[in-house]
Amino acid sequence: MANRAQFSSRIGFILAAAGSAVGLGNIWGFPTQAASNGGALFLIVYLLMVFALAYPLLVAELMIGRYGQADPMTSLRKIWPAQRALMGLVGLAGMLAVSLILSFYAIVAGWLLGYLIAPLCELVGLTQVAQWLETFGVARNLLLMLAFMWLTVMVVRSGVTNGIEKWSTRLMPVLLILFVVMVIYILTQEGAMDGLQLFLIPDPSHFSPKLIVSAMGQAFFSLSLGVCTMMVYGSYLSKSANLPKTAAQVALLDTGVAFIAGLLILPAMFVAQNNGVAIYDASGALLASDTLVFSVLPAMFESMGGVGILVSTLFFVLMVIAALTSSISMLEVPVSCTIEELGQSRHKAVWWIGCIIGVIATVIVVNFESLFGFVVTMTTAYAQPIIGLLFAILVGWIWHRDKVLAEISAGYPDVQSSLFWRIWPWYVRIVCPILMLLVFFVQ
């Protein structure tokens, strides 16, 4: 397409891609997984997974998109023109997976929206509304999910530069500042040091093969890999950008935020315990992750008195912002396919896809017990790593090495003499697939 949209600046791209990566996975998933998997031990394995597996695949996915300069289905077909139908199917699989991820993500983000609004309702005397917003129920889950989907649709409707890039560059700095303020506050509270200790001092007794699998899944989810999201963002990236460097910046930002979230959530749990909130169950294990964020933290905020409302609002604003910069990147995948494959206008595509995902999310809300966990596991534990593996095989085995080199060289002219080029091609070709298969067998 001659006048396809593009991110207007490199920093705009980095903040948008980091915005996609930084989300509930970092602020909720990572710290709670760390808390129940030996703290620092999980942190170490996770860091290994990010740099040994996720980063090389992030470069690969961004590269397919930038080479294609088109929606993911078309970009994939350009990599292997002889297998157009098969490549279209792979793109379709990514698109379906990301739509399902968005449908459960919007439900959780909706809860966060509820926890954000509830204390404010309470403040103005709407106690019953506040209670309703914080109590699990079909109507409440549905309404809040739809509200969050509406926010996502509104941003994506405005397009790449005026919607996604504009809101990511506005929201990401706010998120980082809010985060640092919260960490400083929490670390001055009594009990915080116990949480810090758990997070920073490894306990090898927790080591198990399962921990490696969890860390890999977490790394894939956190970097938004294997579902064409990074591919579609890569397709809006200018040819002059240095891909390995840009991907490294995105991965570092994402990992940095996960680390800071650990500095916030783990100490916060122990501060909560200090304030009389239970964080262990009867058997002595840490409470499940949803209980941690949705009951331990609010209980802690409540025990803080007046300032608690402020801290709670800050925390949930942070969560909603993080979720929104991720959800817009998810919605962009099916939207870009609909615009470019079916020739629809952005406006129409966004509303149609937004409604379809809203309907899928409604089905999940109504059958929550049987569907929610199932969809989460199918998409994050299976679809993301398997499709990610397919991308690695495509880049490593199918795509001609000279073309890969030409694509990277576009924004990195002396790449051929770099350490990156000596390692990365065979690494994606051999090491990444073997590592991923090993992890699958362990599972």
CB of 96 vs ligand PFF, minimal distance in Å: 12
Min dist CB 436 to ligand PFF, Å, is 17
Figure out which of the listed residues 23, 56, 244, 358 binds ligand PFF, where binding follows CB under 6 A: 23
Q: How many residues form the binding site for ligand PFF (CB under 6 A)?
A: 16
Q: Residues near 224 by Cβ (< 8 Å), separated by ≥ 6?
A: 20, 21, 230, 326, 329, 330
Which segment (22-30, 121-129, 240-248, 334-342) binds ligand PFF by CB under 6 A?
22-30
Near ligand PFF in 89-128, by CB under 6 A: 98, 101
- CA 189, CA 197: separation in Å to the nearest integer? 14
DSSP string, 225-291: -SSSHHHHHHTTS-TTS-HHHHHHHHHHHHHHHHHHHHHHHHHHHHHHHHTT---B-TTSPBPPHHH
Contact 164, 332 (CB under 8 A): yes
What is the distance between the alpha carbons of residues 295 and 292, in angstroms, rounded to a whole number? 6
| Contact set for ligand PFF, span 63-92 (CB under 6 A) | none
User: Which pair of structure tokens corresponds to residue 413?
Assistant: 């002219």
25 counts as binding ligand PFF under rule CB under 6 A? yes
* Choice from 7, 15, 20, 257 touching ligand PFF (CB under 6 A): 20
* 63, 408 contact by CB (below 8 A): yes
- Kindly state the helix (H) or strand (E) to which residue 311 belongs, with its residue range: helix 306-342
Q: In angstroms, give the least distance from the CB of 422 to ligand PFF.
A: 30
Nearer to ligand PFF, 329 or 362 (CB): 329
Full 3-state SS string of 366-405: HCHHHHHHHHHHHHHHHHHHHHHHHHHHHHHHHCCHHHHH
Residue ranges in 288-347 that form contacts with ligand PFF under rule CB under 6 A? 326, 329-330
Which of 222, 312, 338, 362 is close enough to bind ligand PFF by CB under 6 A? Answer: 222
CB of 329 to ligand PFF, least distance (A): 5
Taking CB under 6 A as the rule, does residue 24 contact ligand PFF? Answer: yes
Instruction: Return the closest-CA partner of residue 86 out of 438, 417, 393.
Output: 393
Nearer to ligand PFF, 95 or 192 (CB): 95
| Residue 192 sits in the site that holds ligand PFF (CB under 6 A) | no
**Cα 347 to chain centroid, rounded:** 25
Candidates 75, 103, 224, 313: give the one binding ligand PFF (CB under 6 A): 224
Cβ distance to ligand PFF smaller for residue 27 or 182 = 27
Half-sphere exposure of 379 (CA within 13 A, CB side): 22
> What is d(CA 4, CA 425) in angstroms, rounded to the nearest whole number?
29
Residue numbers 340-379 binding ligand PFF by CB under 6 A: none
Minimum CB–partner distance for residue 229 and ligand PFF (Å): 3
Helix (H) or strand (E) holding 80: none
**Nearest-angstrom CA–CA distance, 268 and 389:** 37
Nearest approach in angstroms of CB 243 to ligand PFF is 19
At its nearest, how many Å lie between ligand PFF and the CB of residue 105?
Answer: 7
- In the complex with ligand PFF, the residue whose CB is nearer, 20 or 189, is 20
Cα–Cα distance measured from residue 52 to residue 419, given in angstroms and rounded to the nearest whole number: 15
Q: Which residues sit at the interface with ligand PFF, rule CB under 6 A?
A: 20-21, 23-26, 98, 101, 221-222, 224, 227, 229, 326, 329-330
